[in-house]
Each structure stands twice: as structure tokens, then as C-alpha cells.
Amino acid sequence: MKNTIIRSALFLFAGMLISCSKTEKTTAVRKNIEDAVFASGYVEKDEEYLISAKISGNIINIPVSEGDQVSKNSLIATIENTIQTEQLKDAEAVYSQSRTNTSGSSPQLLQIRSQMDQAQHQMDQDRINFQRYKELRVKNSVSQLDFEKAQLQYQSSQNSLISLQKNYQDAKNTLELAEKRSAIQVDQQNDVLKDYSIRSPGKGEVLNVYKKSGELVKQGENIVKIGNGNFKLRLYVSEDDIAKIRTGQKVAIRLNTYPNDTFPATIAKILPAFDETEQSYIVEAKFDKLPKAVFSGTQLQANIETAKRKNMLVIPTSYISKGKFVILENSEQRRITTGSKDSEWTEILSGISEKDVLIKPKN
């Protein structure tokens, strides 16, 4: 939507209202015209973000309120976590037991170790016996059959020890794997438990608190809104006007909190994409000088200055009839071509001059 603001006159020419009986008259005058694009919008912080619940549950504590300053990792809310805490305790108990099972005092490993010691002792005896029979067989003091029996016994005790050693290593690997898995389970339970303590990802000011202690919050629901940085103006510009906007253009801002004041600002950024939700393009501006009190979310109206033209011919808008005609002093109805206009003044491109005296139409 286009809005034209017409400011101070460069050349004033006899264009004053003349009261004659009940007929009002005027003539065209020369004024400076400032073309402007209208935009609506609101005030926000440079960085604003919502903190939402990652899990459903009853809120048992919200230690912050609107206006509080928070730092990174500040506690924002706590959700009831009794069941999750018990699950964590169970996981920690399993992990503690698994650590015991992989230690030197593990009953399972101690049992196999004892069997290994016995097998080692038996193999040592069978090796000595085999060596003795081997020497005796060389002297032909024992039969070949007795020698082979001693040899088989020694080989059997060797195989038994190797089997027990393998069993020991397999059992140890299994227990160590169980310990790692239980440690992972503890970490996972801790990560889930963290979701019940909602913290701020960065510093800033609490702008809005949407929930109260004791309320049920669902996963994804917003709990607070945090803002950080300087104030900026978020403006919505129509498709018809966005091509006229440039960074560095001046803006006249009227805040709903200051209905009678206008604040200067400057266009700082033009977002490149069309906003489907707002059905507008979004432009950001910065205050040239901050008002005494600024509040995030304040609604505003803005006029973005797009051009200045000097010494343009204008007449009061109220003297135009049917949008394209004026009535001359001799009662002639003349067609005119208009340019920029607002509720007070309309630019005249052709049809009349400063010498023509106009009569105000009767409503």
C-alpha cells in the first residue's frame, strides 16, 4: 500500500482558501513531495528464540519470570521426573554390578581362574611324568604302551588348560561388553533426565513466560521466550512496494506505545524471500535513536521514504471530484491527471495550472 507524505512548500503561490458566501476556493501550489511506502510491523530483539518442552509432564518449578536476565545454561523449568529418576537408579545398579563382574573379584572369573590353576598344576605333573616315561622308554625300562599313556595324559592336560584359558577370555570379553552396554544405558538415561530440566541455550532477557508451575506441558509446547541484543524493527511490505525499498532509506516510525510521536529509523536489511504466513516481504530497520522505553512485541506503523521531489504542483485532496475531476471558478468541470496523494494533498500531473481557481465540491 502506497502512502504519500507531502511536506514543506518550496514555493507558496496564492493558494489560500477564500470564503465567498458558502463557496470555498483555492488554487494549486508548489510543494516538496516525499514518496513513501507504508508498512506495518513490530519491535523485536536481534535474537529471539522460544524454549519448548522436549518431553511431556507436569511442571514442578519455573524459577524465572518476565524481565529476568538469564545466562547460558540457566535453569528455565523443571518437569516432574520421578519415574525417570528410578529408571536411572536401576541402570546405575546394573552398571555397578557389571563393573564388579569385570574386576578381579568377579565370582565367575574367579571360578574359572581356580579351574585354570588346577589344570596348570595337573599339566605340570603330567609333563614331569611324561618326561620320566620318555627317559625310561629310551632305556627300555617301560613298555611302549605305558609311554603312550603318559604322553596322551600330558596332551590331554595341555588341551584342558588351553580350553579353560579360552573360556576365561570369552567370559571376560562378555562381561566387559555387558559393562560397556550398561554404561551406555546410564548415559542414555542421564540424557533423557536432562530433558526434564529445561535450560537456556544462551544469555538474554525473559520476554514471555507461557506456563505456570503445576501445569501439564506437552512435548513441543513453548514455556518461555528469550530475547538478546539490540532492538530492531520488523516491517511487512507488500509485493507491489518491495522493489522500491533499499537499505539505507529513512523510515518514520509510529509506535503504539507512543501514539503521538514519530521516531526516525533506517532500513538495515531486506529479507530475500516472500513470507507465506504474512503474505508480505519482510524488511528490518534500526532506530536512529532509541525511545526512552522500548518493549519487544510493540506494534507499529511505518512510512519508508522512497523518493523526494521538489517544486511539485499540488491541490487539497478535498477539491477533487470523482477521483479525476476538479471544478473551476466558472463552473467548468475539468479532467485532471493525478500522481501521489494522501488524505490532505494530491499531486497534479496535468489538467490545471497555478492560475486556475478551483471551487470545492459540495458533498
pLDDT at 263 over 70: yes
pLDDT at 19 over 60: no
pLDDT of residue 323: 86
Our CA angle for 233, 237, 243, nearest 5°, is 120
Q: Which amino acid is at 247?
A: T
Task: Convert the pLDDT of each residue in 45-60 to its tens digit.
Answer: 999 999 999 999 999 9
pLDDT band of 185, cuts 50, 70, 90 = very high
Position with higher pLDDT, 41 vs 106: 41
3-state secondary structure at position 283: strand
pLDDT band of 22, cuts 50, 70, 90 = low
Section 191-213 average pLDDT: 93
Task: Convert the pLDDT of each residue in 1-16 to its tens digit.
Answer: 444 434 433 333 334 3
Task: Convert the pLDDT of each residue in 274-307 to its tens digit.
Answer: 999 999 999 999 999 999 999 999 999 999 999 8
DSSP string, 120-176: HHHHHHHHHHHHHHHHHHHTT-S-HHHHHHHHHHHHHHHHHHHHHHHHHHHHHHHHH
pLDDT of residue 220: 94
Q: What ranges in the chain are assigned the alpha helix state H?
A: 82-102, 107-138, 144-194
Long-range contacts of 245-248 (CB under 8 A, 24+ apart): 245/37, 245/270, 245/281, 245/283, 245/304, 245/306, 246/270
pLDDT of residue 351: 93
For residues 254 and 231, give the distance between their C-alpha atoms in angstroms, rounded to a whole number: 15
CA nearest to 225, candidates 19, 68, 355: 68
Per-residue cell: 37 = 511506502
For residues 325 and 331, give the distance between their C-alpha atoms in angstroms, rounded to a whole number: 12
